[in-house]
Structure 1
Amino acid sequence: MEKPMAGTVTLQAGGDTERAPALGYLPQEPEMPPGATCEEFLYYVAWVHEIPAKRRHEAVREVLAQTNLTERRTSKIRTLSGGMARRLGIAQALIHDPVMLLLDEPTVGLDPRQRIALRETISSLAAGRVVIVSTHLVEDIRGLADRVIILHGGTVVFDGDVPTLEGESDPEAPGDTDLERAIATLMGAPE
């Protein structure tokens, strides 16, 4: 991993003065204790985020419901499917009610049905918070984003919506769709 050479990020809660600015993060390969239940893991994460003891039960219950894992709350993490494990990863990122959620390749390695279900979960979580998804999967961009920012060499080469991005497509660029060709065009892909 390279250290950033420059730049700043400012995170504000906006007009919500009751909510502290916070970042929720799902790494591409989250580490979760396989022998713990979903609930046990989330109680631990709530404790790490210093959620008061009297509020932890409600916080765990809320994120299990938001990620459609309520029925699996007592399941051991090792028994979860790939899609369920990703949803549990999102639940741990949400436990402290962050204003920004950063998801790194959230659908990687999932089958098409799991990817669609997870994209629906992510879309439902976008109400009331900023969700940033880092992905290389074009269909995730189409299925999730109302705004796309493409970085190339540390520089923003595109900032707009999906239809505008598709308009950047060079018909000679590699790819099967306008969206793929546009991304290849902006990234300077060889033909």
Structure 2
Amino acid sequence: MSQHRLSCEELVKDHGGGFQLGPLSLDLAEGLTCLVGPNGAGKSTFFRLAAGIEKPTTGTIALQAGDGEKLGYLPQDPDLPRGATCEDFLHYVAWVHRIPAQQRSETVTRVLAHTNLADRRTSKIRTLSGGMSRRLGIAQALIHDPALLLLDEPTVGLDPRQRIALRETIASAARGRIVIVSTHLVEDIRGLADRVIVLNEGAVIFDGDVPALEGKATPDAPGDTDLERAIATLMGEAE
């Protein structure tokens, strides 16, 4: 039975101006969930609520973790200190998370290896490629071994090789924790998701696995694959 769970009960966030996220009632367990939808669907709002940056208008969102409620968060546009080395930045993050001094070097080494950045330990962050910078962002989010890892549009702007490498890092990070990845890139879903939640205009219009999502495709929907056609079909039905 899963040890970690993220539960939403009738969760609503009303931003005014006509947009409202929810009401959402979801139970998310360990493994990798892709939160899919167009820009403005409510993905980033959900992440800010899950991270505690914003409070619900009504309803609840709560993390149950067996060894403490720990959160790792990579926002869509992380502000990394470009003049620092990868090692120094991660040592600072470890200090912020109150990892004991005698454990920090080992912890930094572990997360650099886990994100395939061991050979860039002493590199300045400004010298990293876009894909490496995103992997460093995941490393800082993992450094305190969180029960819940939130990755907001982590593959946006990356080339195909960088996206593949990052997806491998994300899949590895999903072992033994809840990982939620928001994306509007269809190709990310097949390579990552145990579960897919599709949002449109603040509402859940699909919740299931990839084969069930592909089963929603209609032959006349736009797209080159069943996955693309399924999302196009769902979006069309939601209009």
Q: Please confirm whether the aligned pair reaches a TM-score higher than 0.5, indicating the same fold.
A: yes
**Is residue 220 of structure 2 the alignment partner of residue 175 of structure 1?**
no
Identical aligned residues as a percent:
75
Name the structure 2 match of 1:33.
Answer: 81
Higher RCO (CA-CA < 8 Å; seq separation 6+): 2
How do residues 1-191 of structure 1 correspond to structure 2 at under 5 angstroms? 2=15, 4-14=56-66, 19-188=67-236
**Residues 178, 6 of structure 1: alpha-carbon distance in 2 compared, 3 angstrom cutoff:** farther
Structure with bigger strand share is 2
Supply the distance in 2 between the matched residues of 1:174 and 1:189 (Cα, whole angstroms): 13
**Residues 81, 182 of structure 1: alpha-carbon distance in 2 compared, 3 angstrom cutoff:** same
User: What are the Cα deviations for residues 157-180 of structure 1, in whole angstroms up to 9, with x where unaligned?
Assistant: 111110100101122222222111
Supply the distance in 1 between the matched residues of 2:237 and 2:90 (Cα, whole angstroms): 42
**Residues 177, 190 of structure 1: alpha-carbon distance in 2 compared, 3 angstrom cutoff:** farther
Supply the distance in 2 between the matched residues of 1:7 and 1:176 (Cα, whole angstroms): 39
| TM-score of the two chains, using structure 2 as the length reference | 0.73
Could you say what the CA RMSD is over the residues aligned between the two structures, in angstroms? 1.9
How many pairs does the alignment contain? 187
Supply the distance in 2 between the matched residues of 1:154 and 1:190 (Cα, whole angstroms): 11
Provide runs of 4+ in structure 1 moved above 6 Å: none
Supply the distance in 2 between the matched residues of 1:54 and 1:90 (Cα, whole angstroms): 23
User: What are the Cα deviations for residues 118-173 of structure 1, in whole angstroms up to 9, with x where unaligned?
Assistant: 10111111111111000011010011001101122222111111010010112222
Supply the distance in 2 between the matched residues of 1:186 and 1:6 (Cα, whole angstroms): 27
Shift of 1:190: 9.2
- Residue 109 of structure 1: SS of its match in structure 2? coil
In structure 1, stretches of 5+ residues that fail to align are none
| TM-score of the two chains, using structure 1 as the length reference | 0.91
**Residues 9, 43 of structure 1: alpha-carbon distance in 2 compared, 3 angstrom cutoff:** same
- Residue 77 of structure 2: SS of its match in structure 1? coil
